[in-house]
Amino acid sequence: MPANLSPEYKEAEQAFKKAKTKEEKIAALEEMLAVIPKHKGTDRLQGELKKRLSKLRSADEPKAAAGPQSNPFLVEPQGAGQIVVLGFPNVGKSSLLKALTNAKAEVAEYPFTTAVPQPGMVPYLDVLIQLVDTPPVTEDGIPGSMMTTLQNADALMIMADMASDQLLDQLTETRDFLLDRRLLRDEVPHGVNAFTWDRVLWVSNKWDLPAAAEHQELLAELWDGPQLLPISVKNGRGLEELKRHCFQVLDVIRVYTKAPGREPDMETPFVLPRGSTVIDLAENIHKEVAEQLKGARVWGSAKFDGQNVAQDYALQDEDIVELKT
């Protein structure tokens, strides 16, 4: 049976051939496996890809006798979602992390103060959003291991220095890097670690400096990319609006639960992807709850408060749900 490989597979195959680091090769192989047509004609090829992927993943792994080791570039997601911040040296990424979170980020005027990803939690409404500062982007790209950080994220934040004479270069080179590494796409196949444009925030910092206003006209004339959210970490301009955008880019909803005859718990919402249903909520609570679920009552998005709904009812942000088991 012929393989009949798809254009998506061939693009991923080309990305694998161009990959320079182990992380980039792993990402390309994972995509090849995700998009390869699943039939008998590709069984052998799938096996070869899995074997090659396993070999790459196991390469350079520490031996058991050496004791447990952790990968500093793998930041486990927490809270409502994880947003990784990218930018050139001295654009203010560490300052932003320090201003918005409880993280003790090192801030200095000299470049490359962030050697490994540094996470912190941003409080917004009644949830926490994880923000991850990263080593800076350069003309040569990023450290190879940082591909792990990017692929693990829920969304990206691109940060540029509005007062810098290299503002346009920072923006275009970062965008081109993401496109070249296939991390930014118009569409992302299921199972592939990449981002659509609506999962990326574009932010311009240092609007407290006079040069920022001068560069605004230049940006309007020459930048053909997404609109930038203006902020100043130094004087606080736009930071509250940035928090709101961080929540929106994650595309999640908050759902509150209540027991029959009791007031709802409005302090600890369940955070679910937008489009989640009653059964998704039940599964998020516990597998047994989902198995025993008969239906639910909903306050908020329902036609009337306390309406009985089916398991496939699509929930909305701030809904209150009483599960029936």
Same CATH fold, 252-324 and 82-250? no
Looking at domain 252-324, its CATH superfamily turns out to be Beta-grasp domain (3.10.20.30)
* Alpha helices (runs of H) in 156-308, residue ranges in sequence order: 167-180, 210-222, 239-250, 278-285, 287-292
Classified by CATH at the fold level, domain 82-250 comes out as Rossmann fold (3.40.50)
Average pLDDT of the residues in 205-223 = 92
Coil/strand/helix, residue 22: helix
Burial of residue 300, with CB atoms counted within 10 A of its CB: 0-12 exposed, 13-18 middle, 19 or more buried = middle
266-307 per-position pLDDT tens digit: 999 999 999 999 999 999 999 999 999 999 999 999 999 999
User: Which of 217, 202, 209 is CA-nearest to residue 172?
Assistant: 202
DSSP letter assigned to residue 269: P
6-39 per-position pLDDT tens digit: 888 888 888 888 887 787 888 888 888 888 888 8
8 A C-beta contact, residue 147 and residue 181: yes
Contact residues for 53 (Cβ-Cβ < 8 A; gap 6+): 26, 29, 30, 33
Q: Supply φ then ψ for residue 110, to 5 degrees.
A: -85, 155
Q: Rounded distance, CA 155 to CA 200, Å?
A: 6
Predicted TM-score (pTM) of the model is: 0.82
User: Which of 323, 320, 248 is CA-nearest to residue 290?
Assistant: 323
The structure tokens 């709904």 sit at 309
Q: How many helical (H) and strand (E) elements, i.e. helices and strands, does the chain have?
A: 10, 13
What residue spans define the domains of the chain? 7-65, 82-250, 252-324
